[in-house]
Amino acid sequence: MVNILFISATSACFELNNDSPYYAPEHFKVLLNGQEVTTSEINVISLFDLTPDTTYTLSLQGESIDETLEFTTKGERCAINVRDFGAVGDGVHDDTTAIQTAILWVPDGGRVFFPAGTYLSRPLTLKSHITIELSEGATLLGWTKREDYPIMPGSVFAQDGEEIYYGAFEGDPRSMYQSLITAHFAEDITIVGRGCVDGNAGNSDFWTEFRNFPDARPRLMFFNRCKDIRVHGVHACNSPSWQLHPYYSERVGFYDVFISAPKNSPNTDAIDPESCDHVDIIGCRFSVGDDCIAIKSGRIELGRKLNKPADHHTIRNCLMDFGHGAVTLGSEIGAGVRNLEVCRCWFRGTDRGLRIKARRGRGKNCRIDKVTFENIRMEGVLTPIVINLWYNCCDPDRESEYVWSREHLPVDDRTPWFGSFHFRNMECTDAEVAACYIDGLPEAPIEEVTLEDISISFSPDAKPGIPMMENFAKPRCRLGLYLDNVKRICIQDVKVEGQEGDKLIANHYETLDAESLQ
């Protein structure tokens, strides 16, 4: 069965419904109106260069795949070409004014079109009810001179005293350089195409001198308090910091997007939804210098003041080729995360697979619950599963005794709470550091961890490493299942091979069911 994920005026995205992570069970042909347009081996399929308000017939054909459906593209009011507004597209000329003018002039329901070319630009601001289309061969290239990036304040105060937030980084309001693509308090924005949005940070000082900046680095795309944002098909790369950052936004979708940055590029997380509601990340591919996906909800101040949890996120049919964590929660999760489903994904070569991190001080609103990871394949992931309540980065007091003390401290307004976590149907090969490393707080143990139908094997060439970032961390190598300060542990049909020492080390729990551990 094939499902419709997304349709715009000129593109469409579909998903095969099966049990295979990311890759389809077989190669298959993609036909449009009876004509073969491509072949595919992955579960998410995209079509571009379609005609608005037109009905098409899509067919998928393989040895065991035979699916047909009819779909109709959306209508649009008009389409305007950035070259008609003076954009040159040679990668040398400053095309900012031409592009921004086209964006301002296009009417609601219209599309701004970039033909093939390289469009050098300073930061751009989008408005509601428009589509940006980057055709194949089109690149929106970021400006390299930092002094030409406007500074956005962390917040401003309205006349009624309301604090309105504009800039942020790592969970705190903070002045920041404007992102290459920015939208504030906007809705119904679509960015589609087979083109590229390139932050060009490797040719600036954003990656080399950032520790000396008075203001936070820009994102590649920053959506602040927006609704109904869709990004489909484009290649996003080389951002000065986080690449795609929806912030306190609703109904956000990323479909068949490729996000990349060099392995040594600092803080180049791919997609970091922060305090957002209903986020879909489906059919995307990642290879970046930090976490592939990091779900956040403010550090301490915003977590307490706004208390807006990350809610209803779906991550499905994605491929993570490199990153610190494939799917990460935190550590800036001061308002918590709930209703997260990660399924049918493939992780290759990431430091950690499913990574959840917080610490004392994130606060009582930091409540993580109803989290499910299912049908995941991992290859060469150093530690497949990590839940870390001792995270020691990002904060001024990260090395304080309050953060690292193993004593049973009082539960107060600073204490986070972790609920139920379910890990099912996972195959992990060539792990190196630990099969899983789950470490809760003695005064607030994790409520429940279920490991079910999981196979984890270690590489014969495994090297020692740190399973989770904490004070006084000890290198480990081929450590089995490690769980500490978890109330209820349920291990069903789990197989661990190639570990050094015991398959299971469990401390400070109330109930443990591990009879089927092999």
What residues are annotated to the active site? 290, 324
Residue 260 CA: distances (Å) to CA of 92, 287, 324, 429: 23, 5, 13, 24
d(CA 100, CA 53): 27
Exposure of 285 by Cβ count < 10 A (0-12 exposed, 13-18 middle, 19+ buried)? buried
Strand 235-237 to 250-255 pairing: unpaired
Tokens matching residue 442: 């003695």
> Which among 158, 162, 160, 123 is positioned nearest to 140, based on CA atoms?
123
Of the chain, the end-to-end C-alpha distance in Å amounts to 36
CB-CB contact of 139 with 114 (8 Å): no
d(CA 504, CA 499): 10
Q: Is 97 helix (H, G, I), strand (E, B) or coil?
A: helix
Tokens matching residue 271: 């997609």
- Cis-peptide into 175, omega within 30 deg: no
DSSP conformation class of 83: G
Cα-Cα-Cα-Cα dihedral sign, residues 176, 182, 187, 190: negative
The gap from C-alpha 9 to its chain's centroid, in whole angstroms, comes to: 26
Partnered with residue 230 across adjacent β-strands are 190, 253
CB-CB contact of 317 with 283 (8 Å): yes
d(CA 349, CA 286): 11
C-beta contacts of 499-503 below 8 A and 24+ residues apart? 499/435, 499/458
Identify residue 78 by its one-letter amino acid code: C
